[in-house]
Structure 1
Amino acid sequence: MQTCAIVTGHSRGLGAAILRELLERGIATLGLARGATRAPVEAPPGLFEERTLDLSDAAALRAWLAGPQLANWMLGRQRVLLVNNAGTLEPMGPLPTQDLSAVADAVSLNVGAPLMLSAALCAVDGADQERRIVHVSSGAARSPYAGWSIYCATKAALDQHARAAALDATPGLRICSLAPGVVDTSMQAALRSVDPARFPMRERFEKLQREGQLASPEDCARRLVDYLLSDAFGQQPVADLRSLPAAAG
């Protein structure tokens, strides 16, 4: 089956690992991020493209989606994958400390961009195409954390979006908001250095790192792509990668 993918936040961390995993499987992948990928990408011509796009800028994303690039990337493919991975933890801290511009940017990046891309993907003409959307969610969508009101709320929004979109039963669409577990990325390193006054759960994440309980981006990406390509994908609109049998293979 001819398959292509779109991955947001592909330039580092889990997004970069997902990009590499897709390319290793011969899946043509378009990366969307504020900056270019930080590591060299070895791929045959036409298999990898990237666009520099600030996904927290709703107007810029809307302008890009109004153009032909997305439809051209999807043209002739039997299956299209969208991995909504880009996101931010900021602003952290109690409500009185939160910068209002940072709140607006976080909502645009964590919620607005995935929802806009999902709608645009499904609006592209292609009656016979299968479309699979995975929102990279978090356990924070389902459990509240002090200092993370914005992150928890935005990830919960992705979960509820997937639940409602699944009820729409759009022909050819499978969707899942998937928590990947705790992954050893620069985001985790940043958490371990943040002021505990802004994030009281810092010690918990330091302990996870000390005890070797962080998943590698590469292992997480492999399991995520395994699941995304499996027949089981989309049977649950909200899931946790760590509890899925299909993700272990």
Structure 2
Amino acid sequence: MTATTATPTPIRAIVTGHSRGLGAALAELLLEREVDVLGLGRSAHPTLATRERSLSAARFTETALDLADPAALERWLASGALRQFAQGAQCVLLFNNAGTVDPIAPLGGQDASAIARAVTLNVAAPLMLANALASDEASGHTQDRRIVHISSGAARNAYAGWSIYCATKAALDHHARAVALDAPPAVRICSVAPGVVDTGMQATIRATGADKFPLRERFEQLKETGQLASPEQAARQLIDYALSDTFGATPTSDVRELAPR
């Protein structure tokens, strides 16, 4: 399967955090490639539900779901909605994109509820969804299942003030490494860093006081000098890789290390 040629078999994709930023770009570009999309997130995409008919013949659906609420996610998984969406597809992609950079603060200055929310949203939800997709019972015996954890350079490099974000993104990387050793049938997985993308998360970082995040000035300079990737650029690279024959050859990757197409 390649990203540059049409495929005769149905492809469907689940995108978490699809209402804005990188998640919105992923959903939009997948639909343009005639891939059915299921968006999962707290809020609806502002325009995609009405636009999708003009974009392609692909089907777009979305479910309001707080992925930081594990009980709500567990109920949704038990409802059979994932199996219903996957039924009949040759390939199902899961883009675990939803996440939060909060709390940004050194140890001792972090809000306890923000820690719990971050760990649930950044780690528990992706792992629960990945497990469900890998389950034949939940996925409808789909022949090809590809799990894309949206990672970060913070998974592989420590940053002051980002201990929670670094730890949760590192958890996704190590989860992918362990799953690759499990080698579940018909499942490929990779935890992919998308580069520094111009999203709302970057705005949050730039609005943080230097006392909580000493590297704020560096991220301000990236914005001022035009060095941030657009969500569309990053999404295109992620989709190309997810649909390529080489996806999952290594359990972790970085879009900046992938060969240009």
For the aligned pair, the TM-score class normalised by the smaller chain equals: over 0.9
| Aligned twin of 1:7 | 15
CA distance in 2, matches of 1:226, 1:173: 18
Q: 1:28 corresponds to which residue?
A: 36
1:174 corresponds to which residue? Answer: 188
2:205 alignment partner, one of 171, 179, 191: 191
Tell me which residue corresponds to 2:176: 162
Report the CA distance between 1:46 and its aligned residue.
6.5
Aligned equivalents of 1:19, 1:160: Cα separation in 2: 26
**Which runs of 4 or more aligned residues in structure 1 lie more than 4 Å from their structure 2 counterparts after TM superposition?**
none
Matched, 1:118 2:130: yes
Instruction: State the match for 1:84 in structure 2.
Output: 96
Distance 1:9 1:227 in 2: 20
Measure, in 1, the Cα distance between the counterparts of 2:153 and 2:164.
14
For normalisation by structure 2, the TM-score amounts to 0.92
**Counterpart Cα distance in 2 of 1:193 and 1:94:** 16
Stretches of structure 2 that go unaligned for 5 or more consecutive residues are 1-8
Q: Residue 151 of structure 1 corresponds to which residue in structure 2?
A: 165
Q: Deviations over 1:25-71 (max 9, x none)?
A: 00000000011112344223770000000000011101111111110
**Distance in 2 between the 1:151 and 1:40 partners?**
29
TM-score w.r.t. structure 1 length? 0.97
Instruction: Tell me which residue corresponds to 1:61.
Output: 73
Distance (whole Å) between structure 2 residues aligned to residue 21 and residue 30 of structure 1 = 13
* Structure 1 position 164, deviation (Å): 0.3
Aligned length: 247
Which stretches in structure 1 are left out of the alignment for 5+ residues? none
Q: Which amino acid aligns with 1:37?
A: H
2:182 partner amino acid: D
Q: CA–CA distance in 2 between the matches of 1:64 and 1:19?
A: 20
Which residue number in structure 1 is paired with residue 4 of structure 2? none
Distance of 1:173 and 1:40 partners within structure 2: 29
Of the structure 1 ranges 209-218 and 80-89, higher mean CA displacement relative to structure 2 is found in 209-218
Q: Shift of the alpha carbon at 1:193?
A: 1.4
**How far apart are 1:210 and its partner, in Å?**
1.4
Q: Secondary structure at the match of 1:49?
A: strand
Q: Contact between 2:92 and 2:142, CA under 8 Å: does it hold in 1?
A: no
Residue of structure 2 in register with 1:136 after alignment? 150
Q: Deviations over 1:74-93 (max 9, x none)?
A: 00101000000000001110
**One-letter amino acid of the structure 1 residue matched with residue 234 of structure 2:** C
Deviation string 1:107-154 (CA, Å, 9 cap, x unpaired) is 000000000000011113344510000000000000000000000000
1:19 equivalent to 2:31? Answer no
CA contact (8 A) 2:31 2:52 kept: yes
CA contact (8 A) 2:35 2:58 kept: no
Instruction: Tell me, yes or no, if the aligned pair for 2:205 and 2:219 is still in contact at 8 Å.
Output: yes
The residue number in structure 2 matching 1:211 is: 225
CA distance in 2, matches of 1:78, 1:58: 29
